[in-house]
Amino acid sequence: MPFDRRTSMSDQSNKSAEDASSLDQVPSAEFVQLFTKLQRRLFLFILSQVGSPTDAEEVLQETNVIIWSKFHQFQLGTNFFAWAGMIATYEIRKFRDRRRDHRLQFSDDFLAQVSEEAIEISDELEQRREALSDCLQRLKPEDRELIQARYAPGENGLKVAEKLGRPTNSVYQSIGRIRKTLFDCVNRRLASTARAMT
């Protein structure tokens, strides 16, 4: 078939028009905020199913490309993590299919069940994390500083006691009291949230 320059130019102008119209569609600020906020959670969700941080990063990148390309399908006000988690589950399956010959794999049914449960658990853990963050802010400043010092990377009660010049037993008692306060506060917050939703 001979080359038709007019058809080729027409195709190019149609493609340019499509590209321009797709550039007009930009995700909302709320979508971008949800997308950014949930990257860590999404990574951990993927990691729980692929096992290797390197593989999880690869699947996350592929998942992010799909999420970004389908942003217009997400309905604001619905559960972003559940929506993104379903996309991630599909990308995990594709990844596993590519790697099927390399090692022993779980069945797709098993992984589908794990995915569903991981999304549910992840939502609960996120609620707990938010409640804990709020409860930490409600502590007396000295209690908050002590608990943050204790749980800083590489720290333990003995090191904190030495830095503060306090007896080790006294520091452990204070940490125990603060942990109980936080535990009770988180449970009250979660119970209050559960009552408000019924």
User: What is the average pLDDT across 128-144?
Assistant: 90
Check whether residue 79 and residue 41 sit in a common domain.
Answer: yes
Q: Which domain holds residue 189?
A: 139-198
- pLDDT tens sequence across 123-132: 777 788 888 9
User: What is the average pLDDT across 167-182?
Assistant: 92
**CATH label of the domain that carries residue 148:** 1.10.10
- pLDDT tens sequence across 147-167: 988 888 888 888 889 988 999
Check whether residue 32 and residue 117 sit in a common domain.
Answer: yes
- Top-confidence range, 4-8, 25-29, 166-170: 166-170
E strands, the chain, in order: none
User: What is the average pLDDT across 18-27?
Assistant: 54
Residue 18 forms part of a structural domain: no
pTM: 0.49
**CA–CA gap between residue 102 and residue 151 (Å, rounded):** 39
**CATH label of the domain that carries residue 86:** 1.10.1740
Check whether residue 176 and residue 91 sit in a common domain.
Answer: no
Residue 162 forms part of a structural domain: yes
Backbone conformation region of residue 44, classed left if phi is above 0, alpha if psi is from -120 to 50, else beta: alpha
Residue % of the chain over a pLDDT of 90: 30
Last residue of a domain, which of 98, 126, 154?
126
User: What is the average pLDDT across 132-152?
Assistant: 91
Check whether residue 108 and residue 186 sit in a common domain.
Answer: no
In terms of C-beta distances under 8 Å and separation of at least 24 residues, what long-range contacts does 121-129 make, across chains too?
A: 122/41, 122/44, 122/45, 122/81, 122/85, 123/79, 123/81, 123/82, 126/41, 126/81, 127/190, 127/193, 128/186, 128/190
- pLDDT tens sequence across 33-56: 889 888 988 998 898 888 788 999
Residue 168 forms part of a structural domain: yes
**CA–CA gap between residue 132 and residue 5 (Å, rounded):** 65
Residue 66 has pLDDT above 90, yes or no: yes
Q: Which residue in 32, 99, 107 sits closest to 59, CA to CA? A: 99
Check whether residue 87 and residue 148 sit in a common domain.
Answer: no
Q: Return the structure tokens found at 93.
A: 């399956």
Residue 169 has pLDDT above 50, yes or no: yes
SS3 state of residue 100: coil
Residue 19 forms part of a structural domain: no
Angle, CA of 180, 186 and 187, to the nearest 5°: 90
Residue 189 forms part of a structural domain: yes
Residue 69 forms part of a structural domain: yes
Query: How many domains does one find in the chain?
Result: 2
